[in-house]
Structure formats: structure tokens, C-alpha cells
Structure 1
Amino acid sequence: MEFMLILTIAQKRELKARAHPINPVVIIGKTGLTSSVIKELNCALLSHELIKVKVQVDDRTLRNALFEETCQQLDAAPVQHIGKIFVIYRPKPEDSNIKPTKQCSEKNKRTSAHRTKRSFQG
């Protein structure tokens, strides 16, 4: 059962202020909401609660529909939509034991040790 979280005006104002310095963490391409994009958005919301999303779609009405659909699929609250940037909020689950899944947390880890230029110098 999917629903969209509703925020008061004061909550939206506070979240907009918190979101101002944040950079977009997920980019939605011209193909729209694929399952992998939804998974990445879900991981980002589990980690950060408040995220910015950049959209590569030029059509304004399509972006509005995409914003609403994204929030509905993720059970999140739409905070702000300016141009091609969405700000989405979903509070962390009340069970603080719930952490991002293994796929979310290990995505960017390197498999081998990274050697810098200085480490090769004797």
C-alpha cells in the first residue's frame, strides 16, 4: 500500500533550508524511472533522509508527473521542485536497527587497494 507523506508548510520550509547546500545524489535519465533508479533512490533515502535528484527530461509536465510518481513509489514527501531538481524527504524508519542493504553500502567500495603516485615513490 503506497502513500505519499504530507508535510506542513513549516516542515517544508525547514527541509528546503536543509536541502540548499546538498548536491544531487541521483540522476534520472531520459528513460525515466527504471527499477535500478528506484533502488538507488531508496538507498539514498535510507542513508540521508533528504536528497536532491536531478532529472534529464526537458518536458515540464512530464517532470511534474515524474516528481509525483517518484514520491509515491518511494513513500516519500515532495519537498521542492525547481527546474530539473527535485528535493525528496522520507524520514528514517523508526527502527534504528534497519540499515541500508548490503547492495547499498558496498556499491562504491573498491575490491583492491588503491595505490597513489606517492606510494610508488621510494
Structure 2
Amino acid sequence: MLTGKQKRFLRAEAHHLSPIFQVGKGGVNENMIKQIGEALEARELIKVSILQNCEQDKDEVASEIHKGTKGEIVQQIGNIIVVYKESKENKKLELPKVK
């Protein structure tokens, strides 16, 4: 579980990122979850955009991504979801310490 300070740090880091996944009409499926999981392992922090034609609710999409990848939902603004998961091999981000 991330603290408020850590989430603020990750939001700042994600600000300049472009979404690398789009959830469309088919919604979230297992293949997408697998690809998002691999991208999180490589990058740690990604953005996912939800297209207008997505039939699932935004909160439902965020929940499925969270459950499937075991990543943390850092932020959800409009149709963009920011997801973080600490990488086992490619650690890039150093989160602020919890006191």
C-alpha cells in the first residue's frame, strides 16, 4: 500500500508519460492484463487510457487492472489510469521512505 507522499511522487513522475495501453470496446481481457504486467515489470510506472467506446465503467477497468497485475492504482483522472508496480529486475524509481 502506498502512502500519500509516495503517490504524490509517482503522480509527478507520471505527468510527462504518454499512455501505452488503450482499453477499447472489448474491455480488459487476460491478454491485456498479461501485457500490462510485462510493461510494469519493464517500466514500473505506466498510463492506461480508456477509450470512449469502452463498455466497462472506468472504476471497473481500474479494479480489473489492479487485481490482474497486482499493481497499485496511483491516480485516475478522467479516462487515464496511472498504475505502479515495483519491478523485481529493472528497479528504476526510488520511492520516498515511509516513516
Fold-level similarity (TM above 0.5): yes
Shift of the 12–58 alpha-carbon distance from structure 1 to 2, 3 Å rule, reads farther
**Higher RCO (CA < 8 A, seq sep 6+):** 2
User: CA separation in 2, counterparts of 1:49 and 1:11?
Assistant: 14
Q: Gaps (5+ residues) in structure 2? A: 91-99
Q: Gaps (5+ residues) in structure 1? A: 1-5, 98-122
1:69-117 per-residue CA deviation (whole Å, 9 max, x = no partner) reads: 2111101001000011000000002xx38xxxxxxxxxxxxxxxxxxxx
CA RMSD in angstroms, aligned pairs only: 1.8
Q: Rg larger in 1 or in 2?
A: 1
Structure 1 runs of 4+ with >6 Å offset: none
1:46 matched to 2:41? The reply is: yes
Between the aligned residues of both structures, percent identity stands at 35
- Give the TM-score of the pair, scaled to structure 1: 0.67
Which residue, 27, 32, 40 being the options, matches 2:27?
32
1:42-77 per-residue CA deviation (whole Å, 9 max, x = no partner) reads: 111011000000111568x81112101211110100
Count of residue pairs the alignment pairs up: 89
Match in the other structure for 1:16? 11
Contact 1:55 1:84 in 2 (8 A): yes
1:78 matched to 2:78? The reply is: no
1:55 matched to 2:69? The reply is: no
